[in-house]
Structure 1
Amino acid sequence: MSTGATTDGESIPEIEVSESAADEALSLLDGEGMDTDIAGLRLFVQQGGCAGLSYGMRFDTEPEGDDQVYEHHGLRVFVDPASMNYVGGSVLDFEGGLQGAGFHVENPNVVSECGCGESFRT
Structure 2
Amino acid sequence: MIHLTESAATHIRNYITNRGKGEGIRVGVKTSGCSGLAYVLEFVDNIDQHDQIFENFGVKIFIDPKSLVYINGLEMDYVKNGLNEGFEFNNPNKKGECGCGESFTV
Q: Is the 8 A contact 1:40 1:62 kept in 2?
A: no
Q: Unpaired runs of 5+ in structure 1? A: 1-13
CA drift at 1:116: 1.3
Q: Normalization by structure 2: what TM-score?
A: 0.96
User: In structure 1, the residue corresponding to 2:7 is in which secondary structure?
Assistant: helix
Q: Is the 8 A contact 1:63 1:69 kept in 2?
A: no
Q: Which runs of 4+ in 1 moved over 6 A?
A: none
Please list, as runs of the form range in 1=range in 2, the aligned pairs for 1:99-118 lying within 5 A after superposition: 100-118=84-102
User: In structure 2, the residue corresponding to 1:58 is in which secondary structure?
Assistant: strand
Fraction of identical pairs, as percent: 37
Give the superposed CA RMSD.
Answer: 1.0
Q: How many residues align?
A: 106
**Larger relative strand fraction:** 2
2:12 to 17, 22, 25: 25
User: In structure 2, the residue corresponding to 1:101 is in which secondary structure?
Assistant: strand
Alignment partners' CA distance in 2, 1:98 and 1:83: 32
Give the letter aligned to residue 82 of structure 1. Answer: K
Matched, 1:55 2:39: yes
Alignment partners' CA distance in 2, 1:29 and 1:53: 26
Q: Aligned pair in 2 of structure 1 residues 99, 115: CA closer, same or farther (>3 Å)? A: farther
Per-residue deviation, residues 84-114 of structure 1 (Å, max 9, x unmatched): 0000011011011125111121100000011
Q: Unpaired runs of 5+ in structure 2? A: none
